[in-house]
Structure 1
Amino acid sequence: MTPIDSAPARFALFGHPVAQSLSPQIHAAFARQLSIPLQYTAIDATAEAFADLLARFAAQGGGGANVTLPLKQQATALCGSLGDGARRSGAVNTLVRNDGGWHGENTDGRGLVRDLTERHRLDLRQRRTLLIGAGGAARGVAPALLDAGIGDLFVVNRTPERTDALADALGEPGRVHPRYMDDLKAMGEFDLIVHATSATRSGSLPSLPMSLIGTRATAVDLNYGDSAIPFLAWARAAGAHDAIDGLGMLVEQAAESFRLWHGRRPATDEVYAELRQRHALLITAD
């Protein structure tokens, strides 16, 4: 898609809750780096209010937006067109104003893969992978993980219907396998485990057997800060080779969104390092 030629007046993050989001700080840092004028705000939007608030934002000159929990799947229905990642995942995290409507993209997966392969120098190829969760966050990263060359992908979720729906949407029945939480003890070891639920935001973590962790396993939580602590503590106790939170993914997906809006991709390492130092224990993630 052709990027917007000039910076629109307004950008925003929609989600619920969003008060603790780092996205405004990240985009402000990108804008300073590239000398691009930017107004970026966080708008708290429940599922019931989202469509109306987005329409109001567009009427007031909004040119682009990020979408976080719990609105990523709902956002797809508000788009006139979808990019490949959004279409395959059924979830949108980036909106671009285009010919009076919204074009939906999903940059989460590209952000995750870039963080894992370039920042953490991991080889994802042929890794037997477990994805815990089947909501908007899980949907956003699954296609990119498959494209990055992982081996078989097993998806588990508390709600079997959502697990099956995600597996169907990914469309690779020989490679993508829906399973249920009760199956975990018999599933063997994994090389990559991605935690993509919001359960730890309320202080709970699904019961996970330590037998899931293989000898070279990487455990990734798409949350960061306090919300990532329970899963990463479990992974370290189980002997994971790498335990990685979602802060790097957050910065990288934001850079992809910024590129879609402004036609230029900012450098991310300095922004990531500053956030890591200043916000190590922030509670929420996008």
Structure 2
Amino acid sequence: MKKLTKLGVVGNPVAHSYSPAIHELFAKQFGDNISYEKIEIPMGEFESAIGDLIDEEYFGINVTIPFKVDAYRCSTKCSSQARQSRAVNTLTFQGGKILGENTDGSGFIRDLEERLKFTVKGTSILILGAGGGVRGILPALMDRQPKSVTVANRSTARASELCDEFGIQSILYDETGSENYDLIINATPTSLQNKAPLVSPFAFDSCTLAYDLVYAAAPTPFMELAKRGGAKEASDGLGMLVEQAADSYEIWMGHRPQTASVYEALRKMLTASAA
């Protein structure tokens, strides 16, 4: 039997995570011998908890909300994507070093291009929100050479700082209906609260794709608003979840899983959980 590789996901909360199911399905594709645990870390204890996991011979860890910036800070070496994002969602413990990577952007782009057949180059993009989720996807988006990227956020100061860093435009929510966008991304937590963001319905008039980074069993409030506003297609973030996980798995195990069947299995799990 292959040597056991100890993996896991850390966050607070983390009980809801589908990451163990995803990685177990990946491992079955290759006959890999892995364990994958959900680990809730108390607030303020991230660094000491990572030390404990290293002592327990974990090889890799996925990092979710709210610890992605903490993971960046505790990494001894980071990829260019992680440095640009200033956030890490994948840690590898190797040779006494903590290697930090951010696969959110690559997972997001792969879901756009392969599952949804959306090409970013030359498009106008509106992003709702200016938090860590945006930082994770912006470098990968900018690499695809969009025509324009605009960020709308409740806090102008937070949006301005982010936009100055990436050389893009920031606006207020009440300005979102004055321009046309090909892609609108909801990076706010409103869908988790069963609410739609304060974007104007007119923003979706020429929208090819509305994408919610949150995933759910049913269409999110953002997706419903987008369809009412005229968006041609609306998607949640389940595909991104699976794709970024596959990129993490490849970093750890050296081979990238096939994702289409895993996406379908996860969609069925979500649907069943809501029944």
Q: Tell me, yes or no, if structure 1 residue 197 matches structure 2 residue 188.
A: yes
- 1:275: how far off? 1.1
Question: How many Å apart are 1:202 and its aligned residue?
Answer: 2.4
Equivalent in 181, 184, 195 of residue 176 of structure 2: 184
Contact 2:9–2:19 under 8 Å retained in 1: yes
Q: Does 1:119 align with 2:122?
A: no
- Distance, in Å, in 2 between the alignment partners of 1:122 and 1:79 is 33
Correspondence for 1:248: 239
- In 2, the alpha carbon distance for the partners of 1:16 and 1:221 equals 21
CA contact (8 A) 2:174 2:200 kept: no
Following superposition, the deviation at residue 150 of structure 1 comes to 1.7
Deviations 1:27-50 (A, max 9, x none): 011011111111111111243122
Q: Is the 8 A contact 1:191 1:214 kept in 2?
A: no
Structure 2 counterparts to residues 165-244 of structure 1, below 5 A: 165-170=161-166, 173=167, 176-186=168-178, 188-225=179-216, 229-244=220-235
Question: Displacement, 1:92?
Answer: 0.8
Q: Which runs of 5+ in 1 are unaligned?
A: 1-5
* Distance in 1 separating the partners of 2:109 and 2:3: 27
- Structure 2 spans left out of the alignment, 5+ residues: none
In structure 1, the residue matched to 2:58 is 62
Higher relative contact order (CA 8 A, sep 6+): 1
SS of the residue corresponding to residue 39 of structure 1 reads strand
**2:131 counterpart (135, 150, 153):** 135
Alignment partner for residue 257 of structure 1, among 232, 240, 248?
Answer: 248
Q: Closer, same or farther in 2 for the Cα pair 1:66/1:26, shift >3 Å?
A: same
Retained in 1: the 8 A contact 2:82–2:100?
yes
What are the superposed Cα offsets for residues 223-255 of structure 1, whole Å, 9 maximum, x if unpaired?
Answer: 111586111011111110110110001000000
| TM-score, structure 2 normalization | 0.93
> Hey, what's the Cα distance between the residues in 2 that align with 1:7 and 1:257?
19
* Deviating 4+ runs (over 3 angstroms): 6-9, 280-283
Identity of aligned residues (%): 36
What secondary structure does 1:223 align onto?
coil
Give CA-to-partner distance per residue, 1:54-92, whole Å, 9 cap, x none: 221111111111111111122111111110111111111
- Correspondence for 1:146: 142
Normalising by structure 1, we get a TM-score of 0.89
| Deviation of 1:182 (Å) | 4.0
Name whichever of 38-47 and 106-115 sits farther off.
38-47
The 5-angstrom pairing of residues 91-130 of structure 1 reads: 91-130=87-126
Return the letter of the residue paired with 2:125: T
- For residue 252 of structure 1, give the secondary structure of its aligned residue in structure 2: helix
**Contact between 1:225 and 1:281, CA under 8 Å: does it hold in 2?**
no
1:282 Cα shift?
Answer: 6.0
The answer on 1:39 being equivalent to 2:35 is yes
SS across alignment from 1:88: helix
CA shift digits 1:199-235 (9 cap, x unpaired):
3212333211111114242100011115861110111
Cα separation, partners in 2 of 1:281 and 1:177, compared to 1, 3 Å:
farther
Partner of 1:19: 15
Residue 245 of structure 1 aligns to which amino acid in structure 2?
A: D
